[in-house]
């Protein structure tokens, strides 16, 4: 997966191009379904994991609010890009493995060439699977951390230099409420999300002087299409009953929080974890 961190190159050094690249131009007459706003107009966003689920909702929200969004995902982003296009926004998908430093450098180069300087980076990609600790292999542990933690490190590292130069930036790592209310059979995942929170706290202390905020979003159980297909309704009901807000979380709930966290309005918040879980966690 990733190379030796000690021998990392930097974006712009002619690294690998993504295996696939596509974009659909923004406005098509008559295609708008949701009114656009100018909240993030002029902003360029780099996001991992925007092909589906919460990431897709974030891309749609930020694009609807005027940002141009570049998505790095191992999966095909065509559906996300098409939904953005239909709403009159601008997004591009790049087939990138976020755990590969070389590929993330290639992504940063492509984003700069296509859109310019991205000052907002959101790490949403994750490996999510359940396994009893006894059955967990070191390969599974390593793979989880390479996507969930190393991926966040790569995304931040690739886009930080431009943020520092511009003296403005927003970095958000998508963690999980499971760190605060840990379920069984997810030790590998919970540990990776805890590491992300450490990354956020440490990096926030280091880059604040450049006008860059670094925060984490910790979603509660969210009704993505994969979760609806894979999680029994009884579990959704159980979680909903523990929440203060008596409905299940939707991807749009997380996208709304991200929209705030990457805005100018959030300029005095850094090193924090925003728990968006309907009040389940009480932390
Ligand atoms: N859905 C929930 O209930 C829930 C709850 C808490 C936290 N989260 C977090 O929210 C985020 C989004 O989760 P989701 O439920 O929408 O999942 P999802 O599986 O729909 O989205 C994850 C995306 O990451 C991509 N991805 C996986 N490995 C990658 C890699 N190596 N490089 C680039 N992209 C890669 C996948 O292709 C996918 O598009 C994750 O960080 C997850 O841990 C989700």
Query: pTM value?
Result: 0.91
Average pLDDT, the chain: 90
Q: Are strands 212-219 and 120-123 parallel, antiparallel or unpaired?
A: unpaired
> 202 CA to middle of ligand 1, Å?
23
Kindly report the protein residue whose alpha carbon is nearest to atom 17 of ligand 1: 53
Pocket test for ligand 1, best of 46, 52, 53 (most atoms within 8 A of CB): 53
pLDDT at 12: 43
Q: What is the pLDDT at residue 29?
A: 33
What are 254-282's pLDDT values in tens digits? 999 999 999 999 999 999 999 999 999 97
CA dihedral angle for residue 134, residue 4, residue 147, residue 156, rounded to 10 degrees: 140
CA distance 94 to 50: 10
pLDDT at 142 over 90: yes
| Residue numbers annotated as active site | 189
- Would the pLDDT of 133 be above 90? yes
Domains of the chain are 18-29+38-276 (3.40.50.720)
- Per cent of the chain over pLDDT 70 is 88
- 9 pLDDT higher than 60: no
Centre of ligand 1 to C-alpha 229, Å, is: 15
Query: What is the 247 CA–ligand 1 centroid distance (Å)?
Result: 22
Q: Report residue 36's pLDDT band, with 50, 70 and 90 as the boundaries.
A: confident
Give 96-119 pLDDT, tens digit per residue: 999 999 999 999 999 999 999 999
Strand ranges of the sheet holding 273-276, from the earlier edge strand across to the other edge:
21-24, 90-95, 68-73, 44-48, 120-123, 169-174, 212-219, 273-276
């Amino acid at each position: 997966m990733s190379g030796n961190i000690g021998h990392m190159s930097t974006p712009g050094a002619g690294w690998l191009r993504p295996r696939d690249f596509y974009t659909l131009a923004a406005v098509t007459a008559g295609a708008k379904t949701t009114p656009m706003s100018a909240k993030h107009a002029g902003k360029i966003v780099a996001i991992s994991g925007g092909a589906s689920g919460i990431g897709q909702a974030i891309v749609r929200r930020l694009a609807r609010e005027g940002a141009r969004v570049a998505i790095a995902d191992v999966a095909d982003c065509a559906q996300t890009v098409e939904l953005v296009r239909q709403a009159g926004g601008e997004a591009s998908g790049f087939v990138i493995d976020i755990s590969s430093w070389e590929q993330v450098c290639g992504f940063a180069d492509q984003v700069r060439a296509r859109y310019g300087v991205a000052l907002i980076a959101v790490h949403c990609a994750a490996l999510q699977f359940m396994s009893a600790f006894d059955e967990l292999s070191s390969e599974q542990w390593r793979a989880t951390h390479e996507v969930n933690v190393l991926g966040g490190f790569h995304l931040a590292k690739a886009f930080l230099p431009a943020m520092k130069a511009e003296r403005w930036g927003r970095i958000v790592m998508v963690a999980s409420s499971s760190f605060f209310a840990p379920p069984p059979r997810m030790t590998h995942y919970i540990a990776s999300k805890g590491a992300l929170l450490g990354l956020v706290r440490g990096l926030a202390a280091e880059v604040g002087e450049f006008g860059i905020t670094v925060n984490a979003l910790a979603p509660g159980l969210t009704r993505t299409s994969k979760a609806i297909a894979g999680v029994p309704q009884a579990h959704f009901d159980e979680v909903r009953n523990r929440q203060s807000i008596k409905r299940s979380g939707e991807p749009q709930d997380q996208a709304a929080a991200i929209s705030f966290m990457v805005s100018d309005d959030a300029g005095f918040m850094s090193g924090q974890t925003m728990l968006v879980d309907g009040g389940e966690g009480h932390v």
